[in-house]
Amino acid sequence: MQQSENINELATALCEAQAEMRGAVKDSRNPFFKSKYADLVSVMKAIKDSFQRHGLSFTQFPHIEHKKGYVFVKDQAKEVDMLHVGVTTTLMHTSGQYQQHSFALPLSKQDPQAAGAAITYAKRYALQGVAGIPSEDDDAESAMNRQPKAASKTNWVKELEAVKTKQSFDLKIKQMKADNVKVKKGSELHAALSEAQARFNITH
Residues in contact with 144: Cβ distance below 8 Å, sequence separation at least 6, in sequence order: 105, 106, 108
| Cα 160 versus chain centre, distance | 28
23 inside domain: yes
Same domain, 77 and 174: no
Is the same domain home to 102 and 194?
no
Residues 170 and 117 both lie in one domain:
no
Final residue belonging to a domain, choices 143, 166, 187: 143
- Choice between 18 and 134, residue whose per-residue pLDDT is larger: 18
Give the sign of the dihedral formed by CA 141, CA 142, CA 143, CA 144.
positive
Q: Give the pLDDT score at 154.
A: 45
**105 in the same domain as 8:** yes
**95 & 194 share domain:** no
DSSP class of residue 147 equals: P
Q: Last residue of some domain: 112, 143, 174?
A: 143
Residue-wise pLDDT tens digits, 110-169: 788 888 989 998 999 999 999 998 854 444 544 554 544 444 444 778 888 887 877 778
124: closest CA among 115, 136, 112?
Answer: 136
> Is residue 186 one of the residues assigned to a domain?
yes
Residue 181 lies in a domain: yes
SS3 100: strand
133 in the same domain as 192: no
Range of the domain at 168: 153-199
Residues 65 and 157 in one domain: no
Rounded CA separation 53/16 (Å): 10
Helices of type H across the chain: 8-20, 40-53, 112-131, 140-143, 153-162, 166-178, 188-199
Tell me the pLDDT band of 59, cut-offs 50, 70 and 90.
very high
Share of the chain above pLDDT 70, in %: 82
User: How many alpha carbons lie under 13 Å from residue 80 in its C-beta half-sphere?
Assistant: 13
Residue 115 lies in a domain: yes
Residue 62 is predicted with a pLDDT of 95
Using CA atoms, how far apart are residues 13 and 53, in angstroms rounded to an integer? 9
Asked whether the beta carbons of 18 and 57 are under 8 A apart, the reply is no
Mean pLDDT across the chain, nearest whole number? Answer: 81
Residue 51 covered by a domain: yes
Beta sheet of 56-73, edge-to-edge order: 2-3, 98-106, 76-93, 56-73
Whether residue 111 is found in the same domain as residue 181: no
Considering the domain architecture, whether residues 186 and 126 belong to the same structural domain is answered as: no
